[in-house]
Amino acid sequence: MASVLRLEGLRYAYGQSTQPVFSDLNLSVDAGEFIAVVGGSGVGKSTLLRCVAGLIPPSSGRIKLNIKQGVANRRTAFVFQDARLLPWRRLRNNVAYGLRGLKLTPAERDVRIDEVLGLTLIDDLARRWPYQLSGGQMQRAGIARALAVHPQLLLMDEPFSAVDALTRQKLQDELLSIWQRTHNAVMFVTHDIEEAVYLADRVIVLADRPARIQLDQRVDLPRPRQRDSTALQQLAHFVAQKL
């Protein structure tokens, strides 16, 4: 299967610092693959995701996106830790905001918005203001806004870290359902190892200083997975030992 993303010798250092956050990262992500990146605080998980998104440049190395840029889609889309909804726009218009600049007719734009609101199970909330939404609903809105641009690579930076445990599990399952229906590649940053093993096809462990890839572990557990299964817990324990 062709890769949609390839990192070659990636290095990042803040400003003029001689101590990089991470160095010599080499990684590929295949089309439709779900990758989870885990690691302790300060290893550069979120920084890596921002480099891939083009929000900040790496200090050295190469980022190759093997994704065609169309007039009606974006190559990547980013889901932040908080939904970052615009408080002066209703939910539907927040989702529509990400479509600015794409060559879509008004009818095509409406179809896109309806599609992703349905996928994220918030179509009945379309007229609400952000202050009227729960934390889980706001995160669904952030995911919907990202999906609306039809990315081939979805970048997610600890998107469920601010919600309660039950909502987090529900959002995990909804994300898996969306991923299986859209066939997007996903690069998902989390500090929760069990979440990583539950969701991903592969778990990437960043560790050391400067951080490097200490483990690239394929998760061969069949789907749907059971969070409390012995096999999942054993794999999570194995991954944790590499941190």
**What are the DSSP E strand ranges found in 163-211?**
185-189, 202-207
Which contiguous run of DSSP H or E holds residue 4?
Answer: strand 3-12
pLDDT of 83: 86
What was the pLDDT predicted at 2? Answer: 85
- pLDDT (mean) for 67-79: 93
User: Which DSSP symbol is given to 156?
Assistant: E
Whole-model pTM: value is 0.95
CATH topology of domain 1-67+184-243: Rossmann fold (3.40.50)
As given in the structure block, the two tokens for residue 207 are 């560790």
pLDDT given for residue 15 in this prediction? 84
Q: What is the pLDDT of residues 134-146, one digit of tens each?
A: 999 999 999 999 9
- pLDDT higher than 90, residue 69: no
Q: Which two tokens stand for residue 55?
A: 């929000």
Bridge partners of 73, per DSSP, are none
The whole-number pLDDT of residue 16 equals 80
Residue 11 and residue 25 in contact, taking contact as beta carbons nearer than 8 Å: yes
Residue 1 reports pLDDT greater than 80:
no
Q: In this predicted structure, what is the pLDDT of residue 167?
A: 93
Distance of CA 77 to the CA centre of its chain: 8
Torsion sign (Cα): 105, 106, 112, 115: negative
